[in-house]
Amino acid sequence: MSRTNPPVPRVVSAEFTAGAARAEQLPPPKTIEVAFAGRSNVGKSSLMNALLERKKLVRTSSTPGCTRQISLFEVTTRLGSRLTLADLPGYGYAKRSHSERREWADLIQTYLLKRPALAALVALVDVRRGLQNEDEQLLELVESVPKKQRPPVEIVLVATKLDKLSGSERKVAMNQLKKQCSRPILGFSTELPETHELLWRQLLARLDIDQRPADPAAPPAPVPSEAGA
């Protein structure tokens, strides 16, 4: 008889710590931060909830009364690392007024270019839609500023809602996206748990944290003074 072990949770704790509609209202960072951005409805809240291993910690944009703000979620991983996920307000609403767009741009721009703890930006695109103008503008916003004048942000590009395409369609869409973006892109779906694990691994490797074996039964790594003795 074969027995499958349930997946070992990666996240020990996850909590909402702050929300801010203006960048200057954000509290000083306590850990390194990873920002998540994308068009409204791209699946950002769903992806963040999946990474946080919580059902509804991150509110979806369709939640009534959901304000346009940056929300911070502090996470402790099983291996004891602490990091903060930042949910950036979605873009691409046709009905936004000029002043609302301006406020959004100011908030995002200040956060992405001035937040010293920002280590990575996870940019999300719907696998069926590909990279659109606003997605390109977001990437350009970060990349057009010389590295010395902004935090050294790792950009991780993710195609969401992979399950909406069949296997062969997926392959074609992902190849097209790779060409369009001239950079690697990871596929993700709330319905495909293996993609959650792949995204976690990619993120942690890029951030160079939690790079020890993820086996909970493994002995703890020696502290540096012991290791050198």
From 37-45, 129-137, 138-146, 165-173, span contacting ligand GDP (CB under 6 A): 37-45
User: CB of residue 215 vs ligand GDP: minimum separation in angstroms?
Assistant: 28
Does residue 163 touch ligand GDP according to CB under 6 A?
A: yes
Helix and strand element counts for the chain (H, E):
6, 7
The pattern of x and - marking residues 58 through 97 that bind ligand GDP according to CB under 6 A reads --xxx---------------------------x-------
Q: Does residue number 132 form part of the binding site for ligand GDP (CB under 6 A)?
A: no
Sort residue 80 into left (φ over 0), alpha (ψ -120 to 50) or beta. Answer: left
Minimum distance between the CB of residue 4 and ligand GDP, rounded to whole angstroms?
23
Helix (H, G, I), strand (E, B) or coil at 201: helix
Are 51 and 194 spatial neighbours (Cβ–Cβ below 8 Å)? Answer: no
CB under 6 A: which stretch of 2-10, 12-20, 54-62, 69-77 binds ligand GDP? 54-62
Q: Which residues, at least 6 apart from 86, have a Cβ–Cβ distance to it below 8 Å?
A: 33, 34, 35, 36, 70, 71, 72, 73, 111, 118
Closest contact distance (angstroms) between CB of 51 and ligand GDP is 12
The answer to whether 74 and 31 are in contact (CB under 8 A) is yes
Single-letter code of the amino acid located at 211 = Q
Q: Which stretch binds ligand GDP (CB under 6 A): 38-46, 69-77, 138-146, 203-211?
A: 38-46
175, 165 Cβ separation under 8 angstroms: no
Q: Which residues bind ligand GDP (CB under 6 A)?
A: 38, 40-46, 60-62, 90, 160-161, 163-164, 189-191
